[in-house]
Structure 1
Amino acid sequence: MDVQQHQHPIAVARAEAGMSLADLAAAMRTAARRHDRRSGTTKQQVHSWERPGANPPSDWSQQLMAEAFGVDPALVPLLGWPYWLPGNETPPMLLGTGDTVAALREAQRRAMLNRRTVLGLAPAVLVTLAADWATLDPTLAKAATEGKTVAPEFVSWLESSVQQLTGLATPDWRHTAQLLDSYYDTVVGLLEGAAYTEPVGTRLQLLASSLAQTLGWIRFDHEHHTAAAHYWNAALHAAHHAGDTDRGAGILSDLAYQSMWLGHGTPAAEVLDHALTRTQDPTARSLLSLRKARAHAMTGEARAARRAIDAAEHSLSTATGTPPSWCSWMSPADLAIDTGRCLIDLGEPGPAHQQITLGTGLLPASRDKTRAVFLTYEAESLAHQGEIDHAAATARQALALAQRIGATRCLRQITTLSAVFQPHRQVHGVDDFLNAVRSIA
């Protein structure tokens, strides 16, 4: 299975503008002359900025690039590099403006681009979105005035069908994604042009939110991060419109998880703080607290991470009723494994391995995607402890699962970990694992 390389954000912006490397360099030189200054930007320089891991352009070069792309220069410091680049980040529509359908359609448009990107929402935008959600009062859906009336029975059929599709095991999602897209288009079309009572409108908003949340995860698993972020933003709009604060908190948690996956722990912790203000369900609070612990551990904040782990344990131990559907899978297995992941980040591989081993043993067979991610954590923990042969065998198992599921983000997680094994090729099992990784590159 091929794991494609991400398109660099500059390359994405150039493609949307129809610019070659030389075109962008020339436009930047022209922009400099408008300021009575000179720029030595060449196509070779632009190419060097597009290389993986390259340092970003200087502030001056970014200002010139913004002018070349027709971007308001004020967005450059506001959104930060590379989030201001066109084709990578469109600031989400504000909550409470009545633009729910527009947000749902924008997510659909982004998904149609079908490209792998390294960007979600800009951290500053993500935190602002979460703060708005935590303070604005929800507005219930109002009845539309045009189109044919939507029968409640038809909405019930849609709800049942979508529930069956989203309840399938993760490996089946690759086969159901197109069906989910068609249901999404149908539901958004009803919100756009049909007439319905207020209760039916609320149900349609919640159905749109559920579909957008699931479609966001499908795009996220295939590393279409910009599309995933826009689906989750749309899901947040629809949940807010319907007044479902528990679902809204879960969607913010998904956005925070993506932010952590892309290496941004600090904004993720802020988003989760906002999410925790509007959900009281113990299972939901446990998940949010656990992800907050991960965010703090990423940034080395050991005390804050342990407080969040304690809060997650306490909330899960008090859960007695039926949790919201978006976190119904949360279990002691997840608590143990993510605690172990935190301990890896905090430099405690021994206790981390104990927690991850415990949790992996508790994980049900139906959650193979989660198992693939967690086995990769376990392999990393073992490698840190010097148990290279055991680590290689565990990583090989994770790779096999990830290949079967077809989630490219899991495959990339494993291929990134493979660098740890390069100095140990003489150890039993390492060469086989590295050869298997090379076969998917």
Structure 2
Amino acid sequence: MEYRAVHPLARARRVAGLSQEQLAAGVRAAAARRGLRSGTDASRVRKWERGVQPDDDSQTYIAEALGLPANLIDGPWPVWLPLTDTGVVPLGPHTPVPALREALRTVDRRTFLTVSSAALITLTADWASAGAATAVPDQLVAASDLADVLETTARQLAAADPAHHPHTTRLLREHLVTVTDLLERGRQGAATRHRLHTLAADIANTLAWRRFDSGDTAHAAQYWIAALHNSHATGDTDRGAGLISDLAYQAAWQGDHALAGQLLNHALTRATHPAARSLLQLRLARTHAARHESRPALRALAAAEKHLGQAAVDRPAWCQWLSDADLAVDSGQALLDLGDTARAHQLITAGERLLPTSRGKTRGIFLAYRAASHLDLKEPEAAAATAAQSLQLARRIHAPRCLRLVEDLLPRFQPYQHAPGVKELLHLAAA
């Protein structure tokens, strides 16, 4: 399935189930509600769909007739119209820029944006069966002053303190707009385009995680999809597998373990680096365990441990962080879902202690996992103390996803109101 350049108005009209005449009638009705008159008819709609630009008032009426929010009109015609009816730009040789445009144009439209699971599965299946793009050898990557500046500042913005995320996220998005504009013009040599596609994937991935952490899962998916298109353009299959595994991680977080499993199995068909395969198998184990599929979960855990043992220090930058601590804690979480509570608690506790202090957000999540394992062992005092640690850390480093984990645990403390530390935890959470 390949992306085709259908005019966005024609696509949006079809998604709304409207003929050209029906859309014209909707435009006239929108004008009439304002005490105005519009002469729009099917012929004029056809002209718009062939490239004629409607005036500003007509664009407002079009949005209303299509059932789209008025604040959607925040860019030039027809940029503000959605590119797809599924939220997923299909994979193809010319799709990296359309995928980036789709992610950028929908960034503030949570009122109507959805991402189709079926289209997402189709995208990853197409990726799994596609031939790899030709990667540009490192020694051929030519210097570009603007690319140098964009790469350097993007790294600095991505690494900035979480307290500054509202500002750095806005700046990263503007960087992505610039990179997308450069790719769309297509005036660079192959080596510079390779760098720009890599940078687009990096920035889109950072923005995806920030959207996911804030609970905006539809827009996170859009950014990961855009990153996948751009990593595919560079021929980096391990990176593509990692991006698909991030989509799967989000699906699992939302409780859609069937979707997560399908995405991870597609990703595993082309991942080659041991570190990449370890991460994929670890996430697959969590998905199987959540569905109480004991044997597949244990096989995946064994594979994850084996691959991590084979992974040298020289590993892809996007999975440099994967460590024995992650293996221990995620293995513990899988065992917790499978009912092996004592062994799960041991692994989660050991993994949390192995984690470097620099990984604060991960530590907060691991502490929340450890609190859950204490509750499973009916140890409310230890659970309350650990949950309080997680909560305080999450507030200090601005980690909303970690906060939600602790908040989800709070109802489980209700039967233990008189246990030491529980009332203090509940007061802390309410503050």
Structure-1-length-normalised TM-score: 0.74
- Give the unaligned 5+ runs of structure 1: 1-16, 18-67, 72-85, 143-149
Q: Is the 8 A contact 1:116 1:223 kept in 2?
A: no
Determine the structure 2 residue equivalent to 1:137: 131
Partner of 1:127: 121
Aligned ranges 1:189-338 → 2 under 5 Å: 189-338=181-330
How many Å apart are 1:120 and its aligned residue? 7.0
Distance in 1 (alpha carbons) for counterparts of 2:161 and 2:270? 30
- Report the RMSD for the aligned CA atoms in angstroms: 2.6
Q: CA deviation at 1:408?
A: 2.1
Q: Deviations over 1:117-169 (max 9, x none)?
A: 9x974332322221111011244599xxxxxxx97232123222222332445
1:103: Cα distance to partner?
1.0
1:337-352 matched pairs, under 5 angstroms: 337-352=329-344
Q: Is the 8 A contact 2:87 2:222 kept in 1?
A: no
Instruction: Indicate the residue corresponding to 2:398 in structure 1.
Output: 406
Matches within 5 A, 1:89-100: 90-100=86-96
Name the SS of the counterpart of 1:112 in structure 2: coil
Distance 2:89 2:135 in 1: 17
Tell me the equivalent position of 1:393: 385
**Do structure 1's residue 355 and structure 2's residue 347 form an aligned pair?**
yes
Q: Distance in 2 between matches of 1:88 and 1:133?
A: 18
1:71-150 equivalent positions in 2, closer than 5 A: 90-113=86-109, 115=110, 121-139=115-133
Answer 1 or 2: higher relative contact order, Cα 8 Å, separation at least 6: 1
Letter of the structure 2 residue corresponding to residue 316 of structure 1: L
Work out the CA distance in 2 between the residues paired with 1:89 and 1:385. 47
Q: What is the Cα deviation at residue 255 of structure 1?
A: 0.1
Matched position secondary structure for 1:289: helix
CA contact (8 A) 1:376 1:414 kept: yes
CA distance in 1, matches of 2:156, 2:338: 40
Equivalent residue pairs, number? 350
Task: Give the equivalent residue in structure 1 for 2:375.
Answer: 383
Give the superposition deviation at 1:291.
0.5
Is this contact kept in 2: 1:290–1:308, CA < 8 A? yes
Letter in 2 for 1:299: R
Segments of structure 2 that go 5 or more residues without pairing to the other structure are: 1-15, 17-64, 69-81, 137-141
TM-score, normalised with respect to structure 2: 0.76
Q: Which moved more, 1:290-299 or 1:274-283?
A: 274-283
**In structure 2, what is the Cα distance between the partners aligned to 1:120 and 1:314?**
38
Shift of 1:438: 2.2
Work out whether residues 86 and 114 of structure 2, in 8 Å CA contact, stay in contact via their aligned partners in 1: no
Deviation at 1:421, TM superposition (A): 0.4
Q: Given that residues 139 and 241 in structure 1 are in contact (C-alpha distance below 8 angstroms), is that contact kept between their aligned partners in structure 2?
A: yes
Q: Deviations over 1:88-109 (max 9, x none)?
A: 9833011015121111011112
User: CA–CA distance in 1 between the matches of 2:250 and 2:397?
Assistant: 19
- Which shifted more, 153-162 or 418-427? 153-162
Amino acid at match of 2:317: S
Task: Give the direction of change, closer, same or farther, for the CA distance of 1:311–1:141 in structure 2 (3 Å limit).
Answer: closer
**Aligned residue identity for 1:107:** A
